[in-house]
Amino acid sequence: MTGIFTENQAKQLLGPHHDALYTCVTNAFARWAKHGMKLVSRPDAGFRSHLMQQFMVDEARKRFGNVPGVQIFERKNDDDEPNAGRFLVSFDDQVLVQFKKFDPDFKTRNYPTPAAIRFDGQESLPNIPGGTRLSVGYQLDATGFDLASVAVVCQGLYRPNWWYELEDPSGRIAILPPAEPLRPAQVRAKEQLDLVFDKGKEKG
């Protein structure tokens, strides 16, 4: 198991993408809060994790679909390996990022299939490109109604090799003023009707 990125190497490589990775997670959570939470009256944790996963993947497609040096890699489940499906984002062919929910120790909650164990253990897997495997994901607060942390984690076999948290970019970057939005079309009566429209004449 050689050649795994150190935390500093990962920060250097992923640095230009930190804001986008952070936004993938926070936007996904905002979508969950706005839409997903209302789909059923008592959503359980599994339902939330699943939707969050879909939202994070969706946000990643938007942000990384057209970025030089970044490639989206997808493997679907198949009959031989029903749990082999993965959505990964490859950065410079050196790092592969998956999106996950973390427990309080920043471990991912994968069902320990042989493939999942090999994946977290940074061991080679058929049909998965090489590179250090990292997880970008979130921890929830105790209520489950808010994010406690967004982090980049390098998983090991039993515990994370290392992890670091991502900062909220809005806390350090001035938000650009929004462009003048398009307003819904409105119809207004002209003010000087008598000059432009002779109602009596039309009647006549």
Partner 1 sequence: MSERRFNPAILELARDSRRMTQSALSVAVGAAQGTISKLENGQSASPSDDLLEKIAKALGYESSLFFESFSPRGPSLFLHRKRSSLPISDQKAIHAMIEIVRLQVQKLLRSVDIPEMRIPFLDPERLKRRPAEIAREIRMHWGIPSGPIENLTAILESVGIIVVPFDFTSRLMDAVSVYSEREPMPPMVFLNSKAPGERIRFTAAHELGHLVMHCRQDFPGDHAEDEADAFASEFLMPASDIRGFLGGLTLEALGSLKQSWRVSMQAILTTAEHLGRITPYKAKNLWIQMSRLGYKTREPFEIPIEEPTLIRDIIRTHTGQLGYSDAEIAKVVHLPVDAFQEVFKRETPRLRILPAS
Strand partners, 136: 99, 152
Q: How many CB atoms lie within 10 A of CB 197?
A: 12
Helix residue spans in 69-183 (DSSP H): 114-120
Question: Please, how many CA atoms are within 13 Å of residue 53, restricted to the half-sphere of its CB?
Answer: 18
Q: How far is the CB of 186 from partner 1 (least distance, A)?
A: 7
Contacts of 71 (CB under 8 A, 6+ apart): 89, 90, 93
Q: Which of residues 17-76 bind partner 1 (CB under 8 A)?
A: 60-66, 72, 74, 76
Considering the complex, state which of residue 44 and residue 202 has its C-beta at the smaller distance from partner 1: 202
- Is 202 a binder of partner 1 (CB under 8 A)? yes
Residues 72-111: x where in contact with partner 1 by CB under 8 A, - otherwise, as a string: x-x-x-----------------------------------
Instruction: Tell me the C-alpha to C-alpha distance, in Å, between residue 130 and each of 88, 90, 95, 127.
Output: 12, 9, 8, 9
Considering the complex, state which of residue 60 and residue 125 has its C-beta at the smaller distance from partner 1: 60
- Is 179 a binder of partner 1 (CB under 8 A)? yes
Contacting range for partner 1; rule: CB under 8 A; set: 5-13, 31-39, 111-119, 196-204? 196-204
Quickly tell me which residue has 């489940």 as its tokens: 77
Q: How far is the CB of 133 from partner 1 (least distance, A)?
A: 19
Considering the complex, state which of residue 4 and residue 50 has its C-beta at the smaller distance from partner 1: 50
Q: How many CB atoms lie within 10 A of CB 96?
A: 21
Contact yes or no for 88/135 (Cβ under 8 A): no
Contacting range for partner 1; rule: CB under 8 A; set: 13-21, 38-46, 128-136, 173-181? 173-181
Q: What is the chain's length?
A: 204
- Is 201 a binder of partner 1 (CB under 8 A)? yes
H or E segment and range at residue 134: strand 132-140
Applying CB under 8 A, the residues found at the interface with partner 1 are: 60-66, 72, 74, 76, 178-190, 193, 196-197, 199, 201-204
